[in-house]
Amino acid sequence: MKVLKSIGVLSLILFLAVSCKTSNKDNKGMMENINRKWMLVEYKDFTKEDLTKLEANMDLTKESDAPNRYTAKMGCNGMFFTAEFDKGKAKFSGVGSTMMYCDGRMKLEEQFGKDLPNMTQYKLEGHFLNLSGGNTTMKFVAADWD
């Protein structure tokens, strides 16, 4: 009986020791969190309701054939760009889009396309992504967050 208690106690100690292992948050872990689809929730004077209605989003999911190439949609056209993220620094370039006209849905797209290359900083805070550059900020929420 003492042997069974000893085995039980040792098993519990081993289980607790393994469960209490600390996690290392390195740059790779941060990149895994940034590489997902993000919904735009705060930007300039657009209301959250406007942004939700337009389904404004930026997809930073990595593609194997073009690892730094990403897409966005701000209510009308499909947008595309190149981006690099490293230790809080962001670099956006090559911003382009398809060329359709959507009545009443172009203002956000035009401003986003103009401001995105000026975003030089990023910050992940839980399920939020904040981009900033100059006096402009963009706040996104992870699309897969409940």
- Here the tokens at position 141 are 């929420």
- Here the tokens at position 7 are 């085995």
Given a contact cutoff of 8 angstroms between Cβ atoms, the answer to whether 105 and 54 are in contact is yes
101-115 pLDDT per residue, tens: 999 899 999 999 999
**Band of residue 75 on the pLDDT scale cut at 50, 70, 90:** very high
15-49 pLDDT per residue, tens: 445 455 444 444 444 455 899 999 999 999 999 99
| φ and ψ at residue 36, rounded to 5 degrees | -160, 180
Indicate the pTM of the whole model. 0.77
Higher-scoring residue by pLDDT: 55, 3: 55
What gap in Å lies between CA 129 and CA 115, rounded to an integer? 16
Domains of the chain and any CATH numbers: 25-142 (2.40.128.270)
- In the chain, alpha helices (H): 2-19, 27-34, 48-53, 107-115
Distance, CA of 7 to chain centre: 46
**Which pLDDT score is estimated for 28?**
46
For the chain, give the percent of residues with pLDDT over 90: 70
